[in-house]
Structure 1
Amino acid sequence: MPDFADHAGRYAPSPSGDLHFGNLRTAVLAWLFARQSGRKFYMRVEDIDSERSSMESAQRQLEDLAAIGIEWDEPVVYQHDRGEAYASALAKLDTYECYCSRRDIREAASAPHAQPGMYPGTCRDLTEEQRAYRRSQLSQSGRLPAIRLRAHAERWTVNDVYKGEFTGPVDDVILKRGGNANQAQVGDWAYNLAVVVDDGYQSIDQVVRGDDLLGSAPAQAYLAHELGFPDPEYVHVPLVVTADGRRLAKRDGAVTLRQMAEDGGVQRVVEQIASSLGHPDVSSMGELLDRFDPLGLSREPWVWGISE
């Protein structure tokens, strides 16, 4: 087992294409927070979604992160290698099978008194006879049930550098996705389980990511608690958005490093990132590390195309 540091931060991209400016900015922030606090900084390739991920994309992403001046501690962890760890964690948790289709969940969630965005608990308290019947129905169509966490808390509180204490609902999140019984593979593991298990494995005690993920932190922190991992420090940072408030995406034009570098080179991109963090006169990552003030970071989204 690799010897991971006791205190570490991380960046964990999904290799489904080149990183865009918003991804790069969040990666830089994760690196800055880790290095300024004396932590190790690890890279994790979140490639459990085998249909969307590729090793070629992962390599390009790592090359781009290195090109702008981010350095990290070894080893790089790839989630496609971590199936045994996820299975071991799953065995420690209180879980139940879920036979619902997306349509079932959508219809149940629209019923009176259902909490928006939460699993309505349709399969949580089925009898063994009901489970056997639902399991056989899926089996006849060649499918497997999903596995959900049976949460024993309704709400959980996390601590965030910018948000302070944040309390949110704890859902019966999916830990292992259902699907075709003949095509079970690494991609069947769900993100919520994988990210928590890997943070524990890598001794991650500082999680820096986009503030659109704040709402998922309580459920993930609860899951970490159930697995015996300590609570991490969360840092949910503002996103890069378009002029109409949408989260920046590759469809918004020349937004990847390779595209932007065609007009001014990689250094120009580093300067744009530094400017977006409140340092328009900084041109290198080393200088940015010396001058970045976490308390001075704007809490507002950075608007692409206007602020650049």
Structure 2
Amino acid sequence: MSGAIASALLTACLLPLMSSTVVQDFNHVERCKDSLYMGTPPRGISDAKLKRICQRYADKPRFVTLYDPQKRIPVYSAYTFKKTEGDRRVDYPWMFEPQLAEVDGNGNMLPFPTGYLHMKFEDSQAVLDDYSDVVLYERGHLNPDQHQSTPHDRAATYTLTNVVPEMREFNIGPWREFEERIRVRLNNFCRGTAYVVTGVTTRGNTIRRNNQDRVAIPEDVWSAYCCTDYDRNAPHDVRIRFPSHAALGKNAKEGNSVHEMSVQELEIFLKNNMDVDQNLQLFYDNCISPSPLPLYLQHTI
């Protein structure tokens, strides 16, 4: 067998593994490793029912989602922040994730069809009909389009596997203001790559359709970012929010202000309000920038 043929056969064998969107882990570039600080997902969230989605659009990995197919919402989405002017686009089509129901050849998210969508997709994830007659709640992005810059990266955020039902007053009020505040902060003061993880807690409330529980309604929405290469000359009130910081908001009509806090404070809250291990850690090594020198040599520079 020639080397070229052997190489082609090897590539064919690996292709399903590399193009698969619902993955066993995120430890490869093609499985969205680059969306995570140090290529490492949050530690301590280990429910076997949860699905790891490498969100692919136009044949390229875009961001990561840990998805709960029973509650039909993401537990979190993790992404790299892209500098942007913050303008919003509303003409992207809403998409779904075929691989939650069956293995799709290219692994890309797909726009919802205008006609019939097979029941197997409804069983595995939220669909447009789940949100169509809901008055109180809107589709709230965890990876928001205004934190992305290219048209393809922005379009990829419009998948229902990246949204949760957010109370309208919370979504267009305190949470949108928070997303804009973080956009400006990271735009102006993060010099390297900023890694963001945004997720939810739930208490059992759901959106119902046809007398069935369909989509879990978050109790809280939380977010944390990690940027180890930042402007050391930033104003003090900004500098103390680096290299990492977090926030928490109540998904409610009233009493829904967003409170900023340290990542460690958020982790304590999540340990008490989510089904997670007590070793929960959102960012590898608590977002401490790895030193290029061993400790015993650091005092020499």
Please give the range of the TM-score, normalised by the shorter of the 2 chains: under 0.3
- Structure ranking higher in helix proportion: 1
- Structure ranking higher in strand proportion: 2
TM-score, normalised to structure 1's length?
0.24
